[in-house]
A and B are shown apart, each in its own frame.
Chain A
Amino acid sequence: MTVHTTSPQFKQNATRALHDVQLQKALNNVKQGFIDKRQAAADKLPEFEALRDSARDIKNHTLEHLDLYLEAYEAKVKASGGHVHFARNADEAREIILKICREAGAKTVTKGKSMISEEIGINHYLEANGITPVETDLGEYIIQLRNELPSHIIAPAVHLNASQVEQDFRRVHTHLDAKRDLSEPVQLLTEARAVLRERFLAADVGITGANFLVAETGTSIIVTNEGNGDLTQILPKTHVVLASIEKLVPTLEDVSQLLRVLARSATGQEMSVYTTFSTGPRRPGDADGPENYHVVLIDNGRSSMLGTSFEEMLRCIRCGACMNHCPVYHAVGGHAYGWVYPGPMGAVLTPSLIGVDKAGHLPNASTFCGRCESVCPVRIPLPKLMRHWREREFERHLTPASVRSGLNLWGFFAKRPALYRFATRAAMATLGFAGRRRGRFSWLPLAKGWTKHRDFPAPQGETFQARWQRERSRRTA
C-alpha cells in the first residue's frame, strides 16, 4: 500500500501553517476551548487521577494478554450472531470491507467518525469501486466535502471557520435556494442535519469505528455527541465495525473506568451524549437494528509495537487531550503533521505505522514541555517516546543528511520567531490561567509534567534556543 503522506515535508507544512491567517484564527478555538473545559471536569471529580491510573493499568493488562482477549472476544461475537474478520494490513481491511459492501449490494455507505477508517483510506477505495461513502459526523462531513484529512482526532474540522464551511455548503448543496441565509453556525448545522438525514435513511451499509471492544461480551462501543454513529449503525441492513486490535478491554467494568476519563479528557464533558454498546445483529422480535453485524479487526503494525518501548502508545484512547495542550499543535495545526494522526500522539504513532524514514521529523516537533503527558488519561509518556524515536534515528545510522535535517528541525523551531512566540504565549497563557485560579504553580498535573521532565525549565527560565543548543551538544557528545 502506498501511504499518502506529507509528513516528510513537515517543515514546509509548518511554515505554511504559520502564515495561514484563517488557520491561525481557527486554532485559537483549540487553545481557548479544550484546555479550560478539561481542567474544570477533572477538578469536579476527586477520583480523576486515580481513574487515570486505573485506565492505564487496564490497558497494560489487556495488551499483555492481547492474544487471549482477542480469542475470547471473537468467540463472543460469533456466539451473538456476528462475524469477525482479521486484517493484517490496510489492503486486507479494504478488501474485506469492499466484499461485505458488495454482498450487501451497497450503493451508498454511511460512516461514523473513525480514525482507523482514515488510516486505511477506505473512502477513496470504496469510491474507486463504485460505492459512495458518506461521512456523517458534522466535522468529517465538512472535510469530506473539501477532500481533506481531519486536522484533529476528535474535532476533525477544527482548522476551519464558519465562513469556509458556508462556502463549501453553497458549492455542494446546489439543490437548495442559493439565496438562503447561512450566516449563523446553527443554520449550517440545520442544513447538514437535513441533507444527512436523507443519506442515513438511504444507506445500504453503515460503517463505524469502535472506541472500545469488550471481550467479556463481544461488544463494540462507539461514543458520540451528535448521534450520527447510531443512525449509521441502526438504519442500514448491515453494520460494519472497524477496529484496530488494541481497542480491546476485558470487561464492562473495565470499559466503564475508561469511559470516565475519555469524555472528561476530550471535551470536558462528564459523559459524552451517546455511548452505545452493540452486540451482534438484530434479535428475534427486534423492530429495528442491523440484520448483519461484522467486525473487522485490523493490525496494521500494532502487533509489532508490542514488546517494544512503543507498546505504551497502544494504550491511547484517542481523546485528543495531548494535541489540545500542545504548543506546537496550537501553532501549526493538525495538517502540518502530514498524515492521519496529529499532535504528540501522532508524532509517536505515525513513525511506528508508516516508518521513521517518512515521519522522522515528527518526533522533533515538540518543545518537550511535558504538557501532553501531564494530561494523557492513560499516562503515555509521550515526550519520552518522542525522544526514543530520535535516539533510534541515531542508532539506525540513518544517512548523515537525514540526521542533520532532524537536528535542523530543532533549529527551525528555535529560530522561527513566530512559532517561538506562539508556543511561549500559549504556555504562558495556560500558566497564567492556572496561577490565577489556584495560586502560582499549584496546577499539579502541569507541575508534575515539568518536574518529571526535569530538563525542561520553568517558563521564565531557559529559552527555546538555549534548550536546543544544550540538546544538540548532548546529542553530538
Chain B
Amino acid sequence: MSARDDILAGIRRSLGVKGSEAIRRQIVQDRLERAPRGVVPARGQVSGEERVGLFKTMAEASLATVTEVGSPGEVPQSIALFLRNHNLPATLRMGDDPRLQAMPWSDTTLEISHGPSGGGDLNAVSHAFGGVAETGTLAMISGPENPSTLNFLPDNHIIVVSAKDITSDYESVWNRVRFSFGKGGMPRTVNWITGPSRSGDIEQTLLLGAHGPRRLHVIVVRE
C-alpha cells in the first residue's frame, strides 16, 4: 500500500470510520462550501473614520509608522519626505501596480526602479490589497504588480493602502479575495504584515529588523 493510502487507512481505523459514510462527507462538504465565520471580535466592527482611526492606532502599536494623504497624487511627495526625514537615499523600487504607475513620480527627485528585489534595494513601495482595522494588519497579494520580495528584502518598506480597502476584520479580506480569485481560489501568496520585522531571540529583548524591513511605513490614501 502507498504511504498515502496507509496513512488514510490508519486514520480511519483509529476513528472507527470507513471514509465512505455519506453523512461525514456531507458535513465536510458543507463546511468547505459555507466557510462559517466564528467569533469575530467587536473591536473592528466600526465604520468610516472610526475604522481608519482604529487601523492607524493598531498599526502604530505594531511599531509601524502611519501617515495619511488626501489623494493618490500626494503619495510620491509623501514618500520623498519620509525618506528625507530619515536621511535615506532618494531611491525607490516598485512593481507594475497600475495604481502606483499612475502617481506623479516626476514631481519628485526620487530615482525609481521597477521589478522584484534582488536584495540590493534599500527602499521599496508596494500597494496593499487591503488593511484590517482589528490589528492594523496589511494584506498583500503576490504578482508582477507587487512582487513578494519587495515585502521582505528592502530595509525600508512603504505600503500604500486605500482607506476604502481597510476592512473591519480578516474575514472581510477573505471575502474580497474570493470575489477576485473565485471561491476556493487563492493568489500564490497572501502576506499579512503587522509591523516591521523583529526578533526577541536574544535574551527576549525586542529588536527590530531581524531579516525583513527595519522600518514599515504605511500611507493611507483617503480618496
Q: Are A227 and B197 in contact, CB atoms less than 8 angstroms apart?
A: yes
Name the A residues within 8 Å of B137 (CB-CB): 271, 275
A157 at the interface (CB under 8 A from B): yes
Q: Are A185 and B203 in contact, CB atoms less than 8 angstroms apart?
A: yes
Q: Are B11 and A67 in contact, CB atoms less than 8 angstroms apart?
A: yes
Q: Are B204 and A29 in contact, CB atoms less than 8 angstroms apart?
A: yes
Given contacts A70-B8, A273-B196, contact A138 B210 (CB under 8 A): yes
Q: Are A67 and B15 in contact, CB atoms less than 8 angstroms apart?
A: yes
Q: Are A285 and B38 in contact, CB atoms less than 8 angstroms apart?
A: no
Residues 125-146 of chain B: 1 if any A CB is under 8 Å from the residue's CB, otherwise 0? 0000000000111000011100
Size bracket of the A interface = 35 or more
Name the B residues within 8 Å of A231 (CB-CB): 152-153, 211-212
B28 at the interface (CB under 8 A from A): yes
Q: Which of A86-94, A325-333, A372-380, A405-413 contacts B (4 or more CB under 8 A)?
A: A86-94
A6 at the interface (CB under 8 A from B): no
Name the B residues within 8 Å of A66 (CB-CB): 11, 15
A137 at the interface (CB under 8 A from B): yes
Q: Are A254 and B58 in contact, CB atoms less than 8 angstroms apart?
A: no
Residues 198-223 of chain B: 1 if any A CB is under 8 Å from the residue's CB, otherwise 0? 11111111010111110000000000
Which partner residue on chain B sits nearest A45 by CB separation?
B41
Q: Are B38 and A54 in contact, CB atoms less than 8 angstroms apart?
A: yes
Size bracket of the B interface = 35 or more
Distance between Cα atoms of A272 and B184 in the complex (Å):
25
Which partner residue on chain A sits nearest B7 by CB separation?
A299
Residues 59-82 of chain A: 1 if any B CB is under 8 Å from the residue's CB, otherwise 0? 001001111111110101000100
Name the A residues within 8 Å of B187 (CB-CB): 279, 283
Given contacts A230-B151, A280-B188, A286-B144, contact A64 B15 (CB under 8 A): yes
Q: Which of A115-123, A193-201, A362-370 contacts B (4 or more CB under 8 A)?
A: A193-201
Residues 248-277 of chain A: 1 if any B CB is under 8 Å from the residue's CB, otherwise 0? 001111101101100000010111111111
- Cβ of A264 to closest chain B Cβ, rounded Å: 10
Q: Which of B16-24, B66-74, B84-92, B159-167 contacts A (4 or more CB under 8 A)?
A: B16-24
B36 at the interface (CB under 8 A from A): yes
Name the B residues within 8 Å of A353 (CB-CB): none
Instruction: Give the number of A-B contacts (CB < 8 Å).
Output: 271
- Cβ of A294 to closest chain B Cβ, rounded Å: 14
Q: Are B188 and A278 in contact, CB atoms less than 8 angstroms apart?
A: yes
Name the A residues within 8 Å of B199 (CB-CB): 138-139, 189, 225-226
Q: Are A226 and B170 in contact, CB atoms less than 8 angstroms apart?
A: no
Question: Which of B62, B151, B170, B202 lies in contact with A189, CB distance below 8 A?
Answer: B202
A384 at the interface (CB under 8 A from B): no
Question: Which of B43, B148, B169, B174 lies in contact with A230, CB distance below 8 A?
Answer: B148
Q: Are B201 and A139 in contact, CB atoms less than 8 angstroms apart?
A: yes
Task: Using CB atoms and an 8 Å cutoff, list the residues of chain A in contact with chain B.
Answer: 26, 29-30, 32-33, 45-47, 50-51, 54, 58, 61, 64-72, 74, 76, 80, 85-88, 92, 136-139, 142, 155-158, 161-162, 165, 185-186, 188-190, 193, 196-197, 200-201, 215-219, 225-228, 230-231, 234-235, 245, 250-254, 256-257, 259-260, 267, 269-283, 285-289, 297, 299, 303-308
Task: State the 4 A-B residue pairs at the shortest beta-carbon distance, nearest first.
Answer: A227-B212, A226-B210, A139-B201, A306-B14
Task: Using CB atoms and an 8 Å cutoff, list the residues of chain B in contact with chain A.
Answer: 2-4, 6-8, 10-17, 19, 24-25, 27-28, 31-32, 35-43, 58, 61-62, 95, 115-119, 135-137, 142-144, 147-149, 151-153, 169-171, 174, 177, 184-205, 207, 209-213
